[in-house]
Amino acid sequence: MGAGATPAAGGAGLDVMLKGKVAIVTGSTSGIGLGVAEVLAAQQCDVMLNGFGDEKMIAALQARLHRQFKVRIAYNGADMTNPDEIHAMVRATRRELGSVDILVNNAGIQHVAPIEEFPRAKWDAVLAINLSAPFHATQAAIPHMRKKKWGRIVNVASAHGLVASKNKAAYVAAKHGLVGLTKVTALEMAGQGITCNAICPGWVLTPLVQKQIDDRAKDQRIKVKEAEIQLLSEKQPSLQFATPEQIGKMVVFLCDPAADQITGAALSMDGGWTAQ
């Protein structure tokens, strides 16, 4: 879950609203995606998990979430680089859980290198998972949402969907593209009970970010904690990481009737990063 307490089952007010809803959260066996899945489950939403992990780990995760929140937890191992598997995952969610109400496009990968050294295969993979996969999942989910005249699509973008950093050409391009896809989806779905928004976190302490911290510590021969503070101080004025739980709670807010007129937005959760 990252920092903060594990959400309690139920919740005040929103639990009734999300009870009976079904969410797909891609990249949800760890990191931000798992945090989002846990918060949705705490609000009595059934969840289709997706992501990496061995069979025993995933079975244990499903069992824990079901036991803790008393909701249905399914899993689909769709490869986010394969459009056919993504469409099949959405169909499986409808078949196994009965609906597709909420889609959280969270799966992502990163590679860091100067443009002239950037491996072509890494460029293709980053674009495929961070940008093309949300397109295919959205395309597959929309017909199910239209039938119910209600749907919430939330794209987990990044501060790098709004601003750039050196050596992250593929990631920045993909996340900028995801913010653009969010806007187009919102316009096409306007007035149909379906909203689409992007959440743009800054640094969140996930395995992806931890690797960057560890690499920095190794390269500079400094302590990991010092590398962590260096990382935050360069970009994030709050000097604190956002947490997966906070991002999950933002997803839940976007499902609330109070957010009915929030669509096509890129919502920063970056400790002031993009305010500079």
**Rounded alpha-carbon distances, angstroms, from residue 56 to 42, 48, 53, 59:** 23, 17, 8, 5
- Other Cβ atoms less than 10 A from the Cβ of 6: the count is 12
Q: Is the dihedral of CA 167, 170, 171, 173 positive or negative?
A: positive
Q: How many CB atoms lie within 10 A of CB 215?
A: 12
Question: Do 272 and 31 form a contact (C-beta atoms < 8 A)?
Answer: no
Contact criterion met (CB below 8 Å) for 44 and 71: yes
Catalytic residue among 75, 171, 203, 273: 171
Beta bridge partners of 152: 102, 195
State CA 19 to chain mean position distance: 21
Closest CA to 71 of 89, 49, 95, 55: 49
Known catalytic membership, residue 75 = no
Are 55 and 29 spatial neighbours (Cβ–Cβ below 8 Å)? no
Burial 219-255 (b: 16+ CB within 10 A, else e): eeeeeeeebbeebbeebbeeeebbbbbbbbbbbbebb
Which residues have a catalytic role annotated? 171
